[in-house]
Chains A and B, each alone.
Chain A
């Protein structure tokens, strides 16, 4: 009998983001209500409207992408709408049209397509100041963690 302890799989921490690993391929629609890290392959559409989408160095996304923030380290083919900002990192390859408020392109990144800078409009009717949460009091959690997982439609 081996004295070695049983191997345990531990996902690489991605700052709390849901992860599609590099051996995973998804064809269809992804709607995410939390940050999403794609290191595998996606074909279709990806929406993480209030969240950050990261395409890892092994990731290939052939999809229309909408997110609050997009960080590309791998390959993206398709139009990208990032309401806050998009980062195209060194060695990333992005082919498609971009609409965003802010763009960061590192030297060595490849980009082919158009860039539309859309300045975000201030929210109408938004309260001028939010009620402060007293120190030491945690904000209430409105939904269980599982409800925030990405939803995949095929």
Chain B
């Protein structure tokens, strides 16, 4: 049913049949249940070419339907609705933890669990959305679950619409900073970092092109946080 992408990605961590090993902090302690780490969050604001590109396609129209997979935040809700759009909010990572356990150790290849997860997060009609803010959530999915999620996204987003996704660009990292993204302006993001988190796999340009190979186009922007901002045209 879902095309397995396991083992394809550089630095893939999906090698264990039972799913990913639990996430650990640098000190060896297990990361908290929400995976977002602990301690005081750090805030920074920076320009975002990816965000700018995303808004180029939706800012001059009103009444579009936008999906935000990063959970509801005041800034994002206000920004999108002030543009005259309808916003759908899904706290994707929270539901991921509910579906697969607090440390994502449960089997992300189990088709029953995958179906349940998709029902909880992306159960929408075909072509329902005119844009998706994916942020960095895809980094935490193992290849089988990732394939299913990307397939479902392609189904629920209308053709020619755009999605914005972020991926860390350093393929040697064991852990990556855990971020929350808040929209400041059409081309500016507030980035809140709280703790570290272990991605399920890491990506390079080639693997991202392959991941989104069935979409019309993929465009990359590299940021100073060593994040790839990726605009995907459905």
Which A residues are closer than 8 A to B by beta carbons?
Answer: 88, 103-107, 109-117
Total number of B residues with any Cβ neighbor in A under 8 Å: 16
The binding surface of chain B is classed by DSSP as mixed
- Which residues of chain B come closer than 8 Å to A109, judged between CB atoms? 72
B71 within 8 A of A: yes
In the complex, the answer to whether B74 meets A115 with C-beta atoms within 8 Å is: no
Contact A117-B81, Cβ < 8 Å, known A111-B89, A112-B91: yes
In the complex, residue of chain A having the shortest beta-carbon distance to the beta carbon of B67 = A114
- Which residues of chain B come closer than 8 Å to A114, judged between CB atoms? 65, 86-89
Which B residues are closer than 8 A to A by beta carbons?
Answer: 65, 71-74, 77-78, 81-82, 86-91, 94
Bound Cα distance A112, B119 (Å): 13
In the complex, the answer to whether A111 meets B88 with C-beta atoms within 8 Å is: no
The binding surface of chain A is classed by DSSP as strand
- Which residues of chain B come closer than 8 Å to A106, judged between CB atoms? 74
- Which residues of chain A come closer than 8 Å to B74, judged between CB atoms? 104-107
Contact A115-B73, Cβ < 8 Å, known A103-B81, A110-B94: no
In the complex, residue of chain B having the shortest beta-carbon distance to the beta carbon of A97 = B88
Min distance, Cβ A47 to any Cβ of chain B, angstroms: 24
Residue of A106, A107, A116 with most chain B CB atoms under a 10 A cut-off: A107
21 contacts between A and B (CB under 8 A): A88-B72, A103-B78, A103-B81, A105-B73, A105-B74, A106-B74, A109-B72, A110-B91, A110-B94, A111-B72, A111-B89, A112-B89, A112-B91, A113-B88, A113-B89, A114-B87, A115-B81, A115-B86, A115-B87, A115-B88, A115-B89
